[in-house]
Amino acid sequence: MGLFRSIGKVAKGALGVIAPTLASALPGPLGDLAKKAVTDLLGLDPEANEQEIEKALATANPEMLLKLRQADADFKLQMEQLGVDLEKLYLDDRANARARQIAVKDKTLPALAWVVMSMWAGCIAALFFFVPPSDNKDLLLLLLGVLTGGAKDVLGYFFGSSAGSARKTEMMGEPK
């Protein structure tokens, strides 16, 4: 399993804004190609860990970010020339995960989904009826943020994510 299959959300989020095509290829079968492009541009060892990549992205100068943006465009063009449909690969990967869930009938995933959604709803409801203690307010808001991310992931898994929304996000990152 490559590094980018478990890369931190901070690094993947930052890379998703700067180079969305490379970021979307990281967890898939083209992850090693994308990883090499990113680590080469950041001047890192191909075996760099996620903290090193996050640090390099956080401290990258504008010229480096521009090079990452260009590498993203080059990677996208190269994939189009090869006839590789990155979106289809992503959707196939998601379909395989769902097919596996149907085939094994594992109860863990639905149980975890119920737990996350219940905790999220409970946290929201609690904020309507209780004033959080000032000592713990930041901690509770952090918990709500984490649960909101988990709820988004649960809803995305069970109901799918809009490809149009992903394209909109990608377009927002493109230079004018």
Same structural domain, 8 and 66: yes
pLDDT in tens, 128-166: 898 888 888 888 888 898 999 999 988 887 787 655 555
Residue 98 domain flag: no
Are 151 and 114 a contacting pair, CB within 8 Å? no
Q: How many independent structural domains does the chain possess?
A: 2
Q: DSSP code of 6?
A: S
Q: Are 17 and 79 in a shared domain?
A: yes
Asked if 75 and 117 sit in the same domain, the reply is no
pLDDT, residue 148, reads: 92
Domain boundary among 87, 115, 135: 87
Report if residue 97 sits inside a domain. Answer: no
DSSP states of 149-172 as a string?
HHHHHHHHHHH---HHHHHHHHHH
Same domain as 68, residue 37: yes
Say if 83 falls within a structural domain. Answer: yes
What's the confidence (pLDDT) of residue 6?
44
Structural domain boundaries, residue 18? 3-87
Residues of the chain with pLDDT under 50: 1-6
Domain annotation covers residue 117: yes
Identify whether residues 78 and 114 lie together within a single domain.
no
- Give pLDDT, residue 108: 86
Does some domain include residue 54?
yes
Predicted pLDDT of residue 3? 44
Of 49, 61, 38, whose CA–CA distance to 8 is shortest? 49
Judge if 79 and 135 occupy the same domain.
no
On whether both 69 and 145 belong to a single domain, the answer is: no
Residues 41 and 110 both lie in one domain? no
Separation CA 163–CA 176 (nearest Å): 22
Last residue within a domain, chosen from 54, 87, 120? 87
Mark which of 55, 87, 119 sits at the end of a domain.
Answer: 87
